[in-house]
Homo-oligomer: A and B are copies of this chain.
Amino acid sequence: MNTPSVPQVDAQGSLRHLLTVDGLPADLIREILDRTATFLPDPGAPPRKVPLLRGATVVNLFFEPSTRTRTTFELAAKRLSADVLTLQMEHSSKTKGEHDLDTLFTMQAMGANIFVIRHPDNGAAAYFADNAAPDVAVLNAGDGSHAHPTQALLDMFTIRRHKPDFTGLRVAIVGDIRHSRVAHSDIAALRTLGVTDIRVVAPAPLLPDNAATLGVHPCATLADGLDDADVVIALRIQHERMQQALDISPADYRRDFGLTADNLVSLKPDALILHPGPINRGVEIDPDIAYGPQSVVLEQVRNGIAVRMAVMAMIAGARSGA
């Protein structure tokens, strides 16, 4: 695929696409988080339904299956009163790129305004944005191991609600850092917002090669990584990865890297635990931790709708000059 050339922020500093957290100015991230707060339902109240995208057409193009991410984008668009189409796309390596463009051009001609792209290839969302019509926006819902910006934004929003000052935070990310678009986008967002102490905890084959460039501290053991941490982000581990890259059992992974009551005994009482979901119960996290008092896993889900509503509303506003 070509190198993307379309900027995701326009000359006025407004959001045009959301492709990656890398390069997003801190002020714009904070503006998205502020806007997100306006879309949160009041406690005990039903979700808000607003007419901001009435008449707009949001197309979910999912080249990878993902019930959860698809559902949150669908609900966010519906609560903004948009018409929503979800296309589960087959992706063949033979026709990739060109065939994807035919789909883009066709859906644009149907009047689609916002494309939500989930794709196994790094850079796919930028490739769509690079080829999209000027009045069309692209949101990256996860491309390969590259980026998952709405997940990172909802993670930042969730952390900020509990720990408003990012500058002194100590954050540990536990799991398959190397292959995780969530980790890459979380690290970029945390650094942009001023976090200087980011630890990555994983078996050696799952640690990133470029930890220094990323600005993170690799830790070989959970005890090292969690020491004095304010925030712990657990990542989903794939069963194939354990078998192939690691050759360890789920039970062994849990013993060494799982968020379990035993492993978290010395965690600070006010530390937050995050997980992007869906969880592998009893592997990277135990259910009593995932639904325990320090976990904000379900807040992440709730906030995920609001952050996607905020991003779509901001992009639609920038497009219409509002």
Query: Which A residues have a C-beta under 8 Å from some C-beta of B?
Result: 41, 44, 46-49, 54-57, 67-68, 71-72, 74-75, 78-79, 83, 85, 87, 98-99, 102, 105-111, 113, 135, 277-279, 281, 287, 291, 298-302, 304-305
Contact = CB atoms under 8 A, between A and B. Distances in A.
A70 to B, nearest CB: 10
B278 A106 contact: yes
A71 B49 contact: no
A108 B41 CA distance: 13
Most chain-B CB neighbours within 10 Å: which of A105, A108, A299?
A105
A161 to B, nearest CB: 14
Contacts of A56: 46
Given A281-B99, A298-B105, A49 B44 contact: no
Contact of A55 (B49, B72, B304): B49
Given A99-B281, A102-B279, A109-B300, 11 more contacts: A44-B135, A67-B87, A68-B106, A71-B110, A78-B83, A98-B287, A106-B278, A106-B298, A108-B298, A109-B298, A110-B302
Given A78-B83, A98-B287, A298-B106, A46 B113 contact: yes
28 contacts: A44-B135, A46-B56, A46-B111, A47-B55, A47-B57, A67-B87, A71-B85, A71-B110, A74-B85, A75-B83, A75-B85, A75-B110, A78-B83, A98-B287, A99-B281, A102-B277, A102-B278, A102-B279, A106-B278, A106-B298, A106-B301, A108-B298, A109-B298, A109-B299, A109-B300, A110-B305, A111-B302, A111-B305
A304 B79 CA distance: 27
Contacts of A113: 46
Contacts of A55: 46-49
Contact of A47 (B79, B105, B111): B111
A49 B54 contact: yes
